[in-house]
Amino acid sequence: MNPNRLPVFVYGSLLDGFRNWELYVKPYPHHALPAEVKGRLYHLPTGYPGLLREGEGTVKGDVLLFSPEVYDEALRGLDELETYVGPGDPRNEYEREIVTARLAATGEERRVYVYRYVDEAYAKRTGIFLDDGDWRAFMRRRGE
pLDDT number for residue 143: 82
DSSP 85: -
pLDDT number for residue 144: 63
Check pLDDT > 80 for residue 141. yes
Q: Which of 54, 58, 52, 61 is nearest to 12 (CA)?
A: 61
- Give the rounded percent of residues in the chain with a pLDDT score beyond 70: 97
What is the C-alpha to C-alpha distance for residues 19 and 34, in angstroms, rounded to an integer?
19
pLDDT number for residue 4: 74
The continuous run of DSSP H or E covering 34 comes out as strand 30-38
Check pLDDT > 80 for residue 3. no
Catalytic residues: 82
Long-range CB contacts for residues 66-73, cutoff 8 Å, separation at least 24: 66/7, 66/8, 66/28, 66/29, 66/30, 67/28, 67/29, 67/30, 68/2, 68/5, 69/29, 70/28, 70/29, 70/30, 71/5, 72/5, 73/28
